[in-house]
Structure 1
Amino acid sequence: MRRPRTVGAVLSALATAVASAGLVLGSGAGAQAATTAATPMPAHVFAPYFEAWNGDSPAALAQASGAKYLTMAFIQTASKGSCTPYWNGDSGMPIAFSQFGADFTTMRSRGGDVIPSFGGYTADNTGTEIADSCTSVDSIAAAYEKVITTYDVTRLDMDIEDNSLTNSGGIDRRNKAIKKVQDWAAANGRPLQISYTLPTTTHGLADSGLAVLRNAVSNGTKVDVVNLMTFDYYDNATHDMAKDTQTAITGLKGQLASLYPSKTDTQLWNMTGIIEMPGIDDFGPAETFTTANAPVVYDWAVAKGVGTLSFWALQRDNGGCPGTGGSDTCSGIAQDTWYFTHTFAPFTRDGGGGPATDDYSVAVTPSAATVEPGKSVTATVRTAVTSGTAKTVALTTSGAPAGVTATLSPTSVTAGGSATLTLDAAASVAPGTYTITVTGTSGTLSHAATLTLTVPGTGGGTGALVNGDFETGALGPWTCQSGGAVVSSPVHGGSHALAVAATSSQTGECAQTLTLSPNTAYTLQGYLQGNYAYLGVRGGASASTWGMSGSYGKQSVSFTTGSTGSVTVYLHGWYGQGTVYADDLSVTKS
């Protein structure tokens, strides 16, 4: 998976020795370890990765997205040969409460927690993964213990890739150190789980990954979860990412059965973990995990009893960079912000570790839909037990515009169950983009999820350009690169227009996909202002035009749809040429 771009300064051998000496090993004479009231991870947990190097607040993004649990990436040493752990290998980010501690406390107050992850691609490639860097098993164990006690966590993740998969010395030191920490935790009544995150083929672990687990078995090291990175296959094949996830995890389950012959099928499935990369991964478009893939993987993982569901990374869960692969900050596909988080969040259930408040979650899949006047569309409302026992949840809807009828079947479920949301649009419904809210109520508890509903305008074919005058005051259903926004000035007509944020690193593209009449001639036109202002279509047709104007000028381009009628309308500026404005866009039959 992707990593932070920098590592910290080199520490001297003396500083390293002092830092290591300051930690107390449970296996040594006179060792001490405070017991903890920390709650173990739920038996089935959704914990997306959080990129710890970009200045975001874990607690703030957890609350905004709805992801209660996060996998914090990454902990590594500042330089090869060091035994001192830092966040991102940055010596300015020590393992101390001052780094993320308040965020983690806030997340726990909301019923969540974190999983610190050691390693990652950069560390594994530069010798700064701590077991590769440090040759002292006791010092490695001390580093693990410091993270556990500083943040009072109950699970550590080991992200082992690249050169770390062939570093036999590091593999053995890591597992020996984990075993020491597990013995220390057990002696002090501290719950502790260990997960390994490993690359995969489409049919399970390669032998290098299996070697890590074989060494753990030989060292008596308990592995609770094995997460597979079900992306970046780099095999030059075109992938059905949902299907490949299923074959990879099924293969892993069989491999675990050979390593742990005494475990039941249920226990083996619970040892498996899935990590997706939403959108276009590092390899490119041939490995694209789509919004349609997400509910397929979710349903399958729940049915099989998979233990952990995750993705790389929370900061990517938005559609801010259409067509871009492997970005740290966006998925590269058209999607609602937090779509993948909202789809996967109900996976967290069956909490362990003592009494828990009865609670549940509500999610709507998909979280966006289009319905034409006179037709209907459906979505699935999912509930899940997040703690305690299952209670009856009453479901209601709000926000449907005049002419749209929202019905739920059934209107109440036992937490863990699902209902069907049907949206019927009358022929008279006004075009626009609307937010439909589904609320689940049980006693004094209430949780809600939303669906963005687009009603296209009338016109030839099965769709038409929506919100071309931007008078809704919102972008939807347009998707734009970072900075795209609806503005009140300058405008061509009405009171709103679109500002396209072209910068030195992006064209600022905004786009909308339509389904028009097949094999039919159309004209796309609108008013644009700015330098190198482009207007065009792609997909089932390809045509574009551009202009330069200090005030609004009309642009027009003709095109003919293909056999599907599907096209994507787009407009953008050019690199470093400044903001482009657009207004009063339309698509009409020629």
Structure 2
Amino acid sequence: MRRPRALGAILSVVATTVASAGLVLGSGTGAQAAATAATPLPAHVFAPYFESWNGDSPAALSQQSGAKYLTMAFLQTEARGSCTPYWNGDSSTPVAQSVFGADFTTMRSRGGDVIPSFGGYTADNGGTEIADSCTNVDSIAAAYEKVITTYDVSRLDMDIEDNSLENGAGIDRRNKAIKKVQDWAAANGRPLQISYTLPTTTSGLADSGLAVLENAVANGTKVDVVNLMTFDYYDGAAHNMAQDTRTAIGGLKDQLADLYPSRTDAQLWGMTGIIEMPGIDDYGPAETFTTADAPVVYDWAVSKGVSTLSFWALQRDNGGCPGTGGNDTCSGIAQDTWYFSHTFAPFTSGSGPVTDDYSVAVTPASASASVAPGGSTTADVRTAVTSGSARTVALTVSGAPAGVTATPAPASVTAGGASKLTVSASDSAAPGTYRLTVTGTSGALSHSAVLTLTVSGPGGGTGTLVNGDLESGSPSPWTCDAGGAVVSAPVHGGSHALAAAATASQTGECAQTLTLSPDTRYTLSGWVQGNYGYLGVRGDATASVWGSSSGYAKQSVAFTTGSTGTVTVYLHGWYGQGTVYADDLSVTS
């Protein structure tokens, strides 16, 4: 395999394709018996991708990063028509104990393991994904078996994307070969899992990815995990990567429910997998997974019972190239080395020592509430033991605006218990929509959940942009990334304007959430100054406009709400382009 040209390529690569292991072993299935019994992977495993082509030692980087399990990328044939897989498609690195075998043994001695990954974008694009390259099902199956027995692994990872998604014959050969290997493994008493990694939209699999799984069902092929590449959307929109991960995986779970109607919710969540890309991906700054996104995704994945958490790639988990997107060796954002590995590593559970852990959630499920000035409302804060024994969890709340108090009672619970959150607004509380973060802390552990609070009142929170002229002198109810503020210059009208502080590692977004009328057309408009100043909405409507101007220039964009009417209005700049300013903002119907 050639080195991926960009992270899209690289992460496409990351898509686990059962594609590159086509050794012809005599009659195919059954040609090799299991010499040892591979150890099954934990029920929930963190296994970041490892770039096999750059000369690094998997065992060394596994120890340095704390990532005990690695997804090894990639296996593919050397040329179209071949049935023999190599690491990175390079004939000098065959499937053999002499290549990576000692590293894998060392990792197992430390309680870890590896998942060989077949395919990747380069293979799927170039015809060297094994089921595209090799037309003999038995030979494909034999190749899979050789990888399993050579390295004594219990899961193969299948990356299907690009041209491989459109190759119906290859899709069918692959699933037929996997079925043969599964029958072989069962006959030999060998544990074996198969994962498919596929591209995604923000709402789940596209039709082409879904067709791969439908073909597996038709062939009687068991799919244990479906990983989505929740870092590449290629849709031209700005993304909240943590939120889009949740909607993509939630959509996948619903699609799996249609394919496997007899499975429980817990079983369906246990079939899902997440692949992120730390920092700026190959598409560009609009798809940037930040250090703030990582714990949000971690907590959510734990709470849902997701099977596999991963990212592309271990060698990127450092901040050595600020502002650079899609680099093989660094994330492009400011971060501590191994930050993402250290954040995700506790996800692995189901084998080895069990650690005490818990989750925090706010109910109702909508995690939203409203209160009028002078009034109060309540919500439930629930905790649950996710592993080990129950801990005492201290509850705190942040993000309440002036005039609003949020008090949990009791202020600490034993994990598994609940607390009543009372939110009260004074007569002077400013109308608007705010994010209250409820944090549960126990020792070094900390997990959070968000309650969206709307303070109603004249001109506030329900149908009208609040503080659009910034003349209150305070950003509330706007919430901004670090450095965002109300400034006295430059302004368009009045005495104040909003500043969004874009840096090399953030867009500087300032935002507020409105509840508008459902199914109604609106126009967002305002005056914006600076390089790459974006004005837009997301949520129940998606629209944006951008421009670059040394002075204030009018920007407007129309949008139509959906069934809920709830949208988030935002202003942001662009990475490395400096602060942008906005003034006299409004939403009109």
Give the TM-score normalised by structure 1. 0.60
Aligned residue number for residue 201 of structure 1 = 201
Q: 1:22: Cα distance to partner?
A: 3.9
In 2, Cα distance between the equivalents of 1:115 and 1:383?
A: 29
Aligned residue number for residue 181 of structure 2 = 181
In 2, Cα distance between the equivalents of 1:539 and 1:201?
A: 22
Aligned residue number for residue 124 of structure 2 = 124
In 2, Cα distance between the equivalents of 1:90 and 1:418?
A: 49
Q: Which has the higher contact order (CA 8 A, sep 6+)?
A: 2
Which residue of the other structure, out of 358, 370, 384, is the alignment partner of 2:353?
Answer: 358
The residue matched to 1:175 in structure 2 has which SS?
Answer: helix
After superposition, the C-alpha distances for 1:317-344 in whole angstroms (9 at most, x for unaligned) are 1111111111111111111111111111
In 2, Cα distance between the equivalents of 1:223 and 1:164?
A: 18
- 1:68-87 equivalence runs, <5 A: 68-87=68-87
State whether structure 2 residue 256 is matched by structure 1 residue 233: no
Q: What amino acid sits opposite 1:358 in the alignment?
A: P
Aligned residue number for residue 309 of structure 1 = 309
Aligned residue number for residue 496 of structure 1 = none
Which residue of the other structure, out of 21, 26, 40, is the alignment partner of 2:29?
Answer: 26
In 1, Cα distance between the equivalents of 2:318 and 2:127?
A: 33
Does the 8 Å CA contact 1:413/1:419 hold for their aligned counterparts?
no
Distance 1:32 1:62, change over 3 A: closer
Does the 8 Å CA contact 2:154/2:193 hold for their aligned counterparts?
yes
In 2, Cα distance between the equivalents of 1:57 and 1:236?
A: 37
In 1, Cα distance between the equivalents of 2:150 and 2:507?
A: 52
Aligned residue number for residue 106 of structure 1 = 106
Q: What amino acid sits opposite 2:343 in the alignment?
A: T
After superposition, the C-alpha distances for 1:375-426 in whole angstroms (9 at most, x for unaligned) are xxxxxxx9986xxx65999xxxxxxxxxxxxxxx99x999xx962559xxxx
Does the 8 Å CA contact 2:70/2:113 hold for their aligned counterparts?
yes
Aligned residue number for residue 348 of structure 2 = 348
Q: 1:108: Cα distance to partner?
A: 0.4
Aligned residue number for residue 141 of structure 1 = 141
Aligned residue number for residue 15 of structure 2 = none
Q: 1:32: Cα distance to partner?
A: 4.6
Distance 1:20 1:332, change over 3 A: closer
In 2, Cα distance between the equivalents of 1:238 and 1:150?
A: 44
Does the 8 Å CA contact 2:197/2:228 hold for their aligned counterparts?
yes
- 1:173-322 equivalence runs, <5 A: 173-322=173-322
Q: Which runs of 5 or more structure 2 residues have no equivalent in the other structure?
A: 7-21, 359-383, 393-410, 417-439, 446-481, 490-503, 509-528, 531-572, 578-589
Q: What amino acid sits opposite 1:180 in the alignment?
A: K
Q: What amino acid sits opposite 1:63 in the alignment?
A: Q
Does the 8 Å CA contact 1:4/1:88 hold for their aligned counterparts?
no
Q: What amino acid sits opposite 2:48 in the alignment?
A: P
The residue matched to 1:75 in structure 2 has which SS?
Answer: strand
State whether structure 2 residue 419 is matched by structure 1 residue 419: no
Q: 1:115: Cα distance to partner?
A: 0.3
Q: What amino acid sits opposite 1:164 in the alignment?
A: S
Aligned residues: 388
Distance 1:418 1:139, change over 3 A: farther
CA RMSD of aligned residues (A): 3.8
Does the 8 Å CA contact 1:2/1:120 hold for their aligned counterparts?
no
Aligned residue number for residue 43 of structure 2 = 43
After superposition, the C-alpha distances for 1:523-566 in whole angstroms (9 at most, x for unaligned) are xxxxxxxxxxxxx9x99999xxxxxxxxxxxxxxxxxxxxxxx9
Does the 8 Å CA contact 1:2/1:328 hold for their aligned counterparts?
no
State whether structure 2 residue 326 is matched by structure 1 residue 323: no
Q: 1:360: Cα distance to partner?
A: 3.8
In 2, Cα distance between the equivalents of 1:196 and 1:98?
A: 27
Does the 8 Å CA contact 1:347/1:384 hold for their aligned counterparts?
no
Q: 1:39: Cα distance to partner?
A: 1.2
- 1:553-568 equivalence runs, <5 A: none
In 2, Cα distance between the equivalents of 1:218 and 1:49?
A: 30
Aligned residue number for residue 419 of structure 2 = none
Distance 1:197 1:20, change over 3 A: closer
Does the 8 Å CA contact 1:155/1:195 hold for their aligned counterparts?
yes
In 1, Cα distance between the equivalents of 2:324 and 2:184?
A: 46
The residue matched to 1:71 in structure 2 has which SS?
Answer: strand
In 2, Cα distance between the equivalents of 1:175 and 1:262?
A: 21
In 2, Cα distance between the equivalents of 1:515 and 1:252?
A: 36
The residue matched to 2:145 in structure 1 has which SS?
Answer: helix
Does the 8 Å CA contact 2:204/2:247 hold for their aligned counterparts?
yes
Does the 8 Å CA contact 1:125/1:162 hold for their aligned counterparts?
yes
Does the 8 Å CA contact 1:35/1:188 hold for their aligned counterparts?
no
Does the 8 Å CA contact 2:23/2:85 hold for their aligned counterparts?
no
Q: 1:231: Cα distance to partner?
A: 1.5
Q: What amino acid sits opposite 1:301 in the alignment?
A: A
Aligned residue number for residue 501 of structure 1 = none
Q: What amino acid sits opposite 1:283 in the alignment?
A: Y
After superposition, the C-alpha distances for 1:273-311 in whole angstroms (9 at most, x for unaligned) are 000011111111111111111111111111111111100
Aligned residue number for residue 153 of structure 1 = 153
In 1, Cα distance between the equivalents of 2:226 and 2:52?
A: 22
State whether structure 2 residue 62 is matched by structure 1 residue 62: yes
Q: What amino acid sits opposite 1:26 in the alignment?
A: T
Q: What amino acid sits opposite 2:29 in the alignment?
A: G
Does the 8 Å CA contact 2:179/2:221 hold for their aligned counterparts?
yes
After superposition, the C-alpha distances for 1:219-254 in whole angstroms (9 at most, x for unaligned) are 000000000000221100010000100000000000
Does the 8 Å CA contact 2:391/2:442 hold for their aligned counterparts?
no
Q: Which runs of 5 or more structure 1 residues have no equivalent in the other structure?
A: 7-18, 352-356, 364-381, 394-408, 423-512, 521-535, 543-565, 571-590
The residue matched to 1:232 in structure 2 has which SS?
Answer: coil
Aligned residue number for residue 508 of structure 1 = none
Aligned residue number for residue 378 of structure 1 = none
In 1, Cα distance between the equivalents of 2:312 and 2:192?
A: 23
In 1, Cα distance between the equivalents of 2:3 and 2:309?
A: 20
In 2, Cα distance between the equivalents of 1:239 and 1:32?
A: 47
Runs of 4+ in 1 over 6 A off after TM superposition: 513-520, 538-542
Aligned residue number for residue 584 of structure 1 = none
Distance 1:539 1:211, change over 3 A: closer
Q: What amino acid sits opposite 1:102 in the alignment?
A: A
In 2, Cα distance between the equivalents of 1:20 and 1:109?
A: 28
Q: 1:350: Cα distance to partner?
A: 1.6
Q: 1:63: Cα distance to partner?
A: 0.5
After superposition, the C-alpha distances for 1:472-529 in whole angstroms (9 at most, x for unaligned) are xxxxxxxxxxxxxxxxxxxxxxxxxxxxxxxxxxxxxxxxx98999779xxxxxxxxx
The residue matched to 2:231 in structure 1 has which SS?
Answer: coil
Distance 1:109 1:322, change over 3 A: same
In 1, Cα distance between the equivalents of 2:116 and 2:346?
A: 22
Distance 1:569 1:247, change over 3 A: closer
